């Protein structure tokens, strides 16, 4: 992975009416990186992605994407970017091959027939090349959409919740392909809600209601948030959770199967909160290392909705 920044922007801001939906967001993404973009619904992830790829003009901010000015050179940025939206956006009454040929024509791809054939083979679509896109399952539609994004060999791939609604195997296959693209130098910015996908990313930024709260290598996120955490069991788990949520120090109380994960940034106060339920039948509290999920639940709980 090169240290050369493919995305290097600062202060990106977008307002709709009186609401600021993206509030001075900075992003620096090196070439070949897979950069995760996480946050609750309505947090400004999609708006930020659209500003980065030149589809939406920022109200404030500056910087470069692929060496082009993010404000002035949107046409150049779009020509070298593949953008996969949340919703399947190809023609459902055209076949896979017809859809890819159409997109290739839009980008004025040279030797179009050969490039379409290569894209179909690359993503394992050969047996379905003549099948209508509208008859495909979610996982196969995802593959076609990715093939369309890559038909013009972009240097930057922007994926907006690309695996929503597809099964775990299709998600795994998708990420294997993204890794292959990264090995070829393609930079990927991907928004996701899935923790098993977040751990695939080299670095993660968490955006909540327009503001970027944290930006660090994936392995460093829990440490950067600074949580102490315990796995808690009790015979009355719901009662334990209700009591803990009323105590200072237990900033995160979340159900994980047959136990609770309880975390806070002040260990002394967290330990005091746990002592308040120590007499409950079946109580145990085992120290654990806070993970990505605990970190992001905590960050979300500390954020105020800017659209409220």
The helix or strand, by DSSP H or E, that contains position 114, with its residue range, turns out to be helix 112-122
Instruction: Name the pairing type of β-strands 187-191 and 156-160.
Output: parallel
pLDDT at residue 234, as a whole number: 96
Please report the pLDDT score of residue 80 as a whole number: 94
100 pLDDT more than 90: yes
Q: Does domain 5-221 have CATH number 3.90.226.10?
A: no
Alpha helices in 56-108 (DSSP H): 74-79, 96-106
Q: With a cut of 90, say whether residue 173 has pLDDT above it.
A: no
CA 78, CA 73: separation in Å to the nearest integer? 9
Question: Is residue 307 scored above 80 in pLDDT?
Answer: no
One of 3.30.43, 3.40.220, 2.60.40, 3.30.70 is the CATH number of 228-289, namely 3.30.70
Q: pLDDT at position 94, please?
A: 94
pTM: 0.83
- Most distant CA atoms of the chain, gap in Å: 74
Candidate ranges 163-177, 245-259, 270-284; pick with highest mean pLDDT:
270-284
What does the pLDDT read at residue 48?
92
DSSP code per residue over 203-233:
EEEEEETTEEEEEEEGGGHHHHHT-EEEEEE
Contacting residues for 10 by C-beta, under 8 A, at least 6 apart:
26, 61, 62, 63
What pLDDT was estimated at residue 303? 63
Average pLDDT over the chain reads 90
Nearest in space to 104 (alpha carbons), one of 65, 137, 153: 153
Which of residues 112 and 300 earns the better pLDDT score? Answer: 112
Confidence of residue 304 (pLDDT cuts 50, 70, 90): low
**Residue extents of the structural domains in the chain:** 5-221, 228-289
Query: Is the pLDDT at 1 greater than 60, yes or no?
Result: no
Is 162's pLDDT higher than 90? no
Q: Which of 62-66, 168-172, 218-222, 304-308 has the lowest mean pLDDT?
A: 304-308
Average pLDDT over residues 180-202: 88
Position 86 confidence tier, pLDDT thresholds 50, 70, 90: confident
Q: What percent of the chain stands above pLDDT 90?
A: 63
Model confidence pLDDT, tens digit, residues 13-64 = 999 999 999 999 999 999 999 999 888 778 888 899 999 998 999 999 999 9
Q: Which two tokens stand for residue 292?
A: 């990505």
Quote the tokens at residue 27.
Answer: 């992003």
Residue 308 pLDDT: 52
**β-pairing verdict for 203-208 and 211-217:** antiparallel
Q: How confident is the model at residue 305 (pLDDT cuts 50, 70, 90)?
A: low
Stretch 140-145: mean pLDDT? 88
pLDDT at 306 over 60: no
Asked if 133 and 116 touch (Cβ cutoff 8 Å), the reply is no
């Amino acid at each position: 992975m090169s240290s050369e920044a493919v995305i290097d922007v600062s202060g990106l801001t977008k307002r709709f009416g009186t609401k600021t939906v993206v509030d001075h967001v900075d992003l620096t993404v090196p070439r070949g990186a897979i950069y995760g973009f996480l946050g609750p619904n309505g947090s400004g992830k999609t708006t930020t992605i659209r500003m980065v790829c030149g589809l939406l003009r920022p109200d404030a901010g500056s910087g470069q994407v692929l060496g082009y000015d993010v404000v002035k050179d949107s046409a150049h940025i779009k020509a070298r970017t593949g953008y996969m939206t949340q919703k399947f956006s190809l023609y459902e009454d055209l076949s896979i091959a017809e859809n890819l040929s159409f997109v290739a024509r839009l980008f004025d791809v040279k030797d179009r027939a050969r490039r379409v054939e290569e894209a179909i083979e690359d993503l394992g679509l050969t047996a379905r090349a003549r099948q209508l896109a509208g008859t495909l399952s979610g996982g196969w539609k995802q593959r076609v959409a990715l093939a369309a994004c890559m038909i013009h060999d972009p240097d930057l791939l922007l994926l907006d919740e690309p695996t929503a609604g597809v099964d775990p195997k299709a998600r795994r296959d998708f990420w294997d392909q993204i890794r292959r693209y990264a090995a070829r130098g393609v930079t990927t910015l991907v928004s996701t809600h899935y923790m098993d996908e977040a751990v695939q990313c080299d670095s993660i930024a968490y955006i909540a209601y327009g503001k970027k709260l944290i930006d660090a290598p994936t392995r460093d996120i829990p440490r950067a948030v600074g949580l102490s955490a315990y796995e808690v069991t009790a015979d009355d788990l719901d009662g334990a959770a209700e009591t803990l949520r009323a105590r200072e120090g237990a900033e995160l109380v979340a159900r994980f199967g047959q136990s609770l994960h309880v975390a806070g940034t002040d260990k002394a106060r967290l330990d005091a909160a746990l002592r308040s339920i120590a007499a409950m039948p079946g109580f145990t509290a085992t120290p654990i290392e806070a993970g990505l999920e605990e970190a992001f639940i905590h960050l979300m709980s500390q954020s105020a909705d800017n659209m409220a």
